[in-house]
Amino acid sequence: MSIRSKAPLRLSFAGDGTDVPPYPREHGGATLSAAIDKYTYGTLLTTREKAINVTSLDYDVGQKYQTDKDLAYDGKLDFVKATIKHMKAEQGMFNILIHSDAPPRCGLGSSSTEVVCIVGLLKTWQEQQLTNYEIAEIAYKIEREDLEILGGKQDHYVATFGGFNYIEFLDEKIIVNQLKIRQDILNELQYNLLLCYTGRMKLSGDIIQDQLTSYEQNIPKLEELKGIAYDMKNSLLKGDLNHFGEMLHQCWETKKQLAPDVTNDQIDKLYDKARATGAIGGRISGAGGGGYLLLYCESDKKHLVAEELEKYGAKAESFEFVNSGLQIWHGTDG
């Protein structure tokens, strides 16, 4: 028997950082983000061998685990091992294969999406009935509590729910507001957005640790980021896309003040060139330090911005927004 899963990666527009404890517990956070047509995929194939075989095509790593002790965390496939342990599937006899459309540590939420995919595989194999909220919360606990990797909550929820989301983090309560944006507005937004890969980013946990070290001083900036997320959400619903682009710029300016490693000389150069060529606003998607640069451009200048950035090593990539979140189905092999 084979089970497959796929879940979308995401673009974060504003509010990320306000979903990282302790801020949401103390003040309530809010993020604005959207699922895109870049995916992480998983396959679970049952076997007759008393072992678990795991392969990651992204890292070109394959491991066999025959006992509980084999599942100790050692920096290799820890996301998969932690999910197997959390879901109490250590005695399973199956192979797991994981791969993604985007490179690791790219700022599109790939690690969280990977965990969501594996939770989907295992809950289906175990015939568990879980809601989207439960799947996202389990994935969050695996990554942030079991593996103790610093970060927020939004990625797990976007991967599970899909769509364009304004997510509120109110102490222990989370509300996923899936926005009903007019199709013509979405079309125009997507037409004017430019996504460029700048290279692999730093570990997001390192950047978030810097933010947490200065947490008390950063609270006013986090409040500002939360307000920007709310403002950008309203701009989308009203179709005021130039204002959306301007607030994207303001978000990036505020984000850079949270930690020094959010940006670097290469990113600053790319961003300055983009703004000079016709980008209204933009930001690095995710924690920062590299990955994907997202830009909102004047519609007749987008191609010029892309051409300019490619001179300096950035690579423009196409994408589309998607409504579907985590999907699970049975394959034909096995």
**Would you tell me how many other CB atoms lie within 10 Å of the CB of residue 316?**
17
**Beta-bridge partners for 167:** 31, 176
Cβ contact 237:228 at 8 Å: no
Cβ contact 49:58 at 8 Å: no
DSSP 289: S
> Is 146 tagged catalytic?
no
Maximum Cα–Cα distance across the chain: 61
Phi/psi of residue 311, nearest 5 degrees: -65, -25
Choice among 155, 206, 240, 265 that is catalytic:
155
**Residue 104, preceding peptide bond in cis (omega within 30° of 0):** no
Residue 22 has which token pair?
């302790």
Q: Which amino acid is it at 256? A: K
Cβ contact 193:306 at 8 Å: no
The Cα-based distances of 40 to 33, 112, 146, 161 in angstroms read: 17, 10, 21, 14
Q: Which residue has tokens 């909220």? A: 133
Helix (H, G, I), strand (E, B) or coil at 293: strand
H or E stretch covering 151? none
DSSP per position, 40-54: EEEEEEE-SSSSEEE
**Residues tagged active-site:** 155
